A and B are shown apart, each in its own frame.
Chain A
Amino acid sequence: MKPNDVILHSVTKAAVVIILTFSIYLFFGGHHNPGGGFIGGLSTASGLVLLYLAFDIETVRTNIPIDFKKVAGFGVLLAIMTGFGSIFFDVPFLSQTFGHFDLPIFGETELATAVLFDVGVALAVIGTAITIILSISEDG
């Protein structure tokens, strides 16, 4: 018997957009509000897990051709590189700085190098969570 998942597929297509938008909001709001790299990465991973649940591994792998083990490794590398970048300015390891810049659309914006470190944390969390879930579900 052929299973019919049309309701699940339709709801997933709408819900994944909302979940990923919410995760980006959590990620960028982490400096002044509750949130940050860890919870942003985890909610991104939960959106991807919803995709894997509604569709199957092969479909998601052909549409999102990303090796999540490399994502985890690149995240850790990025976090370490922002730590080492502070050495070139004669300040201790992992020192962070920020500045106010005049961007075209956003106006005066506060940009901090802690965001780059947070990107590394979020990528490491996404890569690790998706790798764990996919490797558990292989031949389940």
Chain B
Amino acid sequence: MFNLFLMGCLFFLTLSIMAALYRVIKGPSMPDRVMALDNIGVNLIAGVAILSILLRTHAFLDIILLIGILSFVGTIAFARFIERGVVIERKHIQ
């Protein structure tokens, strides 16, 4: 019963990722795509958490934190590229 519930959660997470994927492909502007990629990262975190409950292991809990960190750094890099046109500045304008 509980496994069925978890499988349903995974199914709806997959639907959510596919909806975000539609926004990545179809998104009219660049910030739409970046927000959709960030949303996919959050949904992946939830998917890994549910999968680790389903498999009854805690070996994937590090992966959850790691996806969070990498998604955050990636989103920051995209946002800086869109706003400034350069990802890592040589000298900050004071």
A interface residues (Cβ-Cβ under 8 A, vs B): 2-3, 8, 15, 19, 22, 26, 33-35, 39, 43, 46-47, 49-50, 52-59, 133-134, 137-140
Contact = CB atoms under 8 A, between A and B. Distances in A.
Contact of B88 (A8, A22, A34, A53): A53
B59 A34 contact: yes
28 contacts: A2-B93, A2-B94, A3-B83, A3-B84, A8-B76, A22-B66, A34-B62, A34-B63, A43-B66, A43-B69, A46-B69, A49-B73, A50-B72, A50-B73, A53-B80, A53-B87, A55-B92, A56-B88, A56-B89, A56-B91, A56-B92, A57-B88, A57-B90, A58-B91, A59-B92, A137-B87, A138-B90, A140-B88
B70 interface: yes
Measured as residues with beta carbon below 8 angstroms from the partner, the interface class of chain B is 20 to 34
B27 to A, nearest CB: 23
Interface in B51-78: 59, 62-63, 65-66, 69-70, 72-73, 76-77
B87 A140 contact: yes
B73 A56 contact: no
Nearest to B72: A15
Contacts, number: 60
Contacts of A137: 87-88
Contacts of B94: 2
A27 B77 CA distance: 25
B69 A140 contact: no
Contacts of B70: 46
Contacts of B80: 53
A54 B73 contact: no
